[in-house]
Amino acid sequence: MKILGFPIQIRPGFLVFLLLIVFLNGVPLGTWLAGSVAVFTIAHELGHAVAARRTGATARISLDFLAGYASFTPSRVLTRAERAGIALAGPATQILLGLAALLVLGVNPLDHRDFAANEYSLAIWWAGPIIGVFNLIPVMPLDGGNIAAEAVDLFRPGRGRAIMVRLSVPVTAGIFVGMLVVEDLRPLSSFAAILLVIQMQLLSIQSRPRASRNPLVAARAVAAAEEEAWFTGQPGLVPPGHSMSPWWEAHRALAAGNDASARRFILDDLTDTTGRSRAWAPPHAATPDLLDPLIDLLPVPLPKPERDHPELSQNSMVWALKRAGRYAHGASYGSDCFRAHPSTNLAVLIAGCLALEGHDDAAAQWLTVAAHGAARDDADETLLLSALLNDSEFQRVRERPEIRALVKRLVRAE
């Protein structure tokens, strides 16, 4: 589904959320409220997406339980003002659209007796301007908190988000207590409670070393920090014991005019033989124009992959070559890496490079290797199936009889 050119993914959780609204509020108010929430949530996320596109970024929207998300990939590092503007655009769109709808219906949004006279106007009032204003409260992870983080970052560069996470917990706790005390606000206390739980989770990732002991939580946090760095120019919250990728560190060094340091960050990591674990996430949010100058710094050919070289670093290099359009180089280097560290992910990357080069026969062979490679315990059939069904570079390849048969087998195995 697309609106204004933006892909919109509606997850089952969003539909459950709307049904819950109907269940809790009954008919007809619940029905009007669920419909209004759906419309204004999409409008809110479109506000973010349109603002992001105006900076040259690409955006996509996902709707899930309790909330929607507009993720965007910029084509360059954004300024603080641009990042704050993107955050502000969502609630501003929601508020203005809600007020406009009420005025068109002849309803005074400032007169309680007027907007509460009908279920439809009360639903629009709540789902439009009220939730929009609520989203501007300066606490994380609301849009108001992200705007405030950009302001704090002016005075404490690189620390705005971390400081706002710490400040948000006592502020939200105070709001929650106030809502419990004031009878008219008591029904809204559940929203403050949900916010407080989310903030405590963010704070635990930021400040508690044991948060990094949960591999899944830590992996998600590191990936989010890496993504935020490439999107905004500032790294996010990295759990203790983890770090930003060498690609990000190289990008920062290059931006500071230190080409030698930038090259060393990538090559030293790529050829590391210490066996230390990799506590960073691949630079999947980096755009080709950001990767190109880093790849240009590297020697050709790249150092020969060895078994004692880190697998994550090798796979990330193949991905970066593919992302930057260096398909032949990516396929060649990836094939060398596969001899050292065979994996489903690497085989799919190599197949993607070959398919983008127009070598469909070779791409199909590598996809078959990804599914049936010998002596591998890590065969990830879910990853392979997702690539075959969704990756645009395999559009021609998946029409081949052997790949069609492979897709059918993988679907049956799901």
Reading the chain (414 residues) residue by residue, the pLDDT tens digits are 889 888 888 888 899 989 988 998 889 999 999 999 999 999 999 999 999 899 887 788 889 887 788 877 666 667 888 889 999 999 999 999 999 999 999 999 999 899 999 999 999 999 999 999 999 999 998 999 999 988 998 888 767 888 898 999 999 999 889 888 888 777 678 788 888 888 887 777 665 544 445 666 677 778 888 888 887 777 767 776 788 999 999 998 888 889 999 999 999 999 998 887 778 999 998 989 899 999 999 999 999 999 999 999 999 999 999 999 999 999 999 999 999 999 999 999 999 999 999 999 999 999 998 887 543 444 567 888 888 888 889 999 989 999 999 989 888 876
CA distances from 325 to 70, 289, 355 (A): 26, 10, 12
Q: How far apart are CA 230 and CA 287, in angstroms?
A: 8
CB 407 within 8 A of CB 387: no
pLDDT in the model for residue 126 = 92
Q: Do 63 and 16 touch, CB atoms closer than 8 A?
A: no
Q: Give residue 130's pLDDT.
A: 92
Query: Which residue in 61, 50, 58, 75 sits closest to 2, CA to CA?
Result: 61
Q: Which residues lie closer than 8 Å to 214 by C-beta, 6 or more apart?
A: none
Question: Measured at the alpha carbon of residue 363, what is the angle toward residues 359 and 369, in degrees to the nearest 5?
Answer: 155
Q: What is the pLDDT, as a whole number, of residue 389?
A: 86
Scored b (16 or more CB within 10 A) or e, 372-410 reads: ebeeeeeebeeebbebbeeeebbeebbebeebeebbeeb
Q: Are 109 and 102 in contact (CB under 8 A)?
A: yes
pLDDT at residue 376, rounded to an integer: 46
Q: What is the pLDDT of residue 76?
A: 67
pTM, to two decimals: 0.59
